[in-house]
Amino acid sequence: MSGANETASPSNDTSGGPLIDAEVVAAVLETALGGGADFAEVFAEDAQRGSVNLDDGRIESLASGRDRGAGIRVVSGESTGFAHTADLTPRGLANAARAAADAARNGADGVTRSIDLDAYRGAGAPVAQRPGEVDKATKVGLLRRAEEVARSADDTITQVSARYADSRRRILVANSDGVFAGDDQTRTLFSVSCVASGDAGLQTGTETVGHSVGFELFDRYDVEELARRAANRALTKLAARPAPSGTLPVVIGPGSGGVLFHEACGHGLEADLVRKGASAFAGRVGEQVASPLVTLIDDGTMGEEWGHYAIDDEGRPAARNVLIEDGILVDYMWDGLRARSEGRPSSGNGRRQSYRHLPMVRMTNTYLAGGDSDPDDIIGSVDHGVYVARLGGGQVNTASGDFVFGMVEAYMITDGKLGAPLREGQLIGNGPKVLQMIEAVGNDFEMGPPGTCGKDGQGVPVGDGVPTLKVAELTIGGTAS
């Protein structure tokens, strides 16, 4: 067959059919296994993205793009070969398969294995309004409305920025075990950030929403209300006093505090880091690693949450995985490769940034399950401490569990009541120790804002959440004397 007559299979089809025909996939897998490999996999992707950014009244960027291609993985013994290509013709895929097989080869040439693929399993959450079908003027209008409302909150609001983004990602996963499945993932996000200027300097307030849904996100959320919240958060912080310095009881509010458990504990429960000995939780399954109040879950099945999907990037169905139950370490998160070597099933946590990347163990929606305590009672139990309403970015050493996080919004607690807002400071501690020192868990569980988790140069969408909870003590890195 000449290259001039070959055509790529992916299209804008929304019928749920595979990105690449089954016959082509089977042939590519047979080519990949031709050198005697143990396992072969095809991952194809068609990703579309759009975004609009507004900064101080100006549209700074209005972008859209599309990326299509396939990655071929071949495993022979302990060796893995990987090749990717944007050429989705049968010839282009076969060339990539041979390249991956050559990289992994440790068997004899001329071995042929017939691939019997399962019936195609197409998936994808229903989308009421695809963002790609909404005109750019409508998206720009959302940003301008948010800016207008934010600026009208007070004259001290001196800067406003807003961002809209959407994506649609269609994938196909097929492998020599017979897996033949696909998913259709749509996500939509909106964020507004305000800066207020006053005697306390510049103070920032941000509000972000994002879900695995289409443009119907804006039937559920009013961008004007989001802008008001962001502006009010910045204005409240104008009255902030320096954060204290020292070890104090800390109450973490519902929602965004989940990032602490994602970073300080979640990564340490990923099987690849455990096997490398780069986790404080290595070899501790069955042990009491946390307060009996702690149940930590990673759940890719949480419909419409940012880390939701139907299948992971190795074709395994998303799952609800209990990692810590009543303080006992139950299991780790697993991708297919690590699970195969241990003779156990994958937990559906094999994820990759794109077809150009190999999958690895990644979190989805990671959260601390709700408890029985009333949030007001939790705050009321603290005579002198800090209430952290919002956590920002941070750093963590997965081997030791030591972490440092920024406190984006925090308040003093005095005699069981919320007091003055605090300027941004740091929350310093150790993940495994924090788990042991949780003294109360509220009944007000919330998921936090959408996030992107970085690991080994790859970023994937994730969610996290917590109810209100009390930690007996954490170090506050403030500037108050």
How many angstroms separate the CA atoms of 64 and 55, rounded? 18
Distance of alpha carbon 239 from alpha carbon 297, whole angstroms: 37
Amino acid at 104: A
By percentage, how much of the chain surpasses pLDDT 70? 94
Of the pLDDT bands very low, low, confident and very high (cuts 50, 70, 90), residue 9 is: very low
390-393: long-range pairs with CB below 8 Å, 24+: 390/253, 390/255, 390/256, 390/257, 391/252, 391/256, 391/257, 391/259, 391/260, 391/427, 392/424
Residue ranges per structural domain of the chain: 3-239, 246-477
Q: pLDDT (tens digit, 9 = 90+) per residue, 65-122?
A: 999 999 999 999 889 999 999 999 999 999 999 999 999 985 444 445 567 888 888 8
8 Å CB contact between 481 and 287 = no
Q: Kindly state the tokens that stand for 151.
A: 């600026």
Phi then psi for residue 266, to 5 deg, are -60, -45
Round the average pLDDT of the chain to a whole number and report it: 92
Name residue 414's amino acid: T
Total Cβ atoms within 10 A of residue 122: 17
At CA 392, angle to CA 390 and CA 397, rounded to 5?
A: 125
Q: Which fold has domain 3-239?
A: PmbA/TldD fold (3.30.2290)
Q: Each residue of 208-254: pLDDT tens digit? A: 999 999 999 999 999 999 999 999 999 999 989 999 999 999 999 99
The overall pTM is greater than 0.85 = yes
pLDDT single digits (tens) 13-70: 444 589 999 999 999 999 999 888 999 999 999 999 999 999 999 999 999 999 999 9
Angstrom distance (rounded) from CA 174 to CA 42: 5
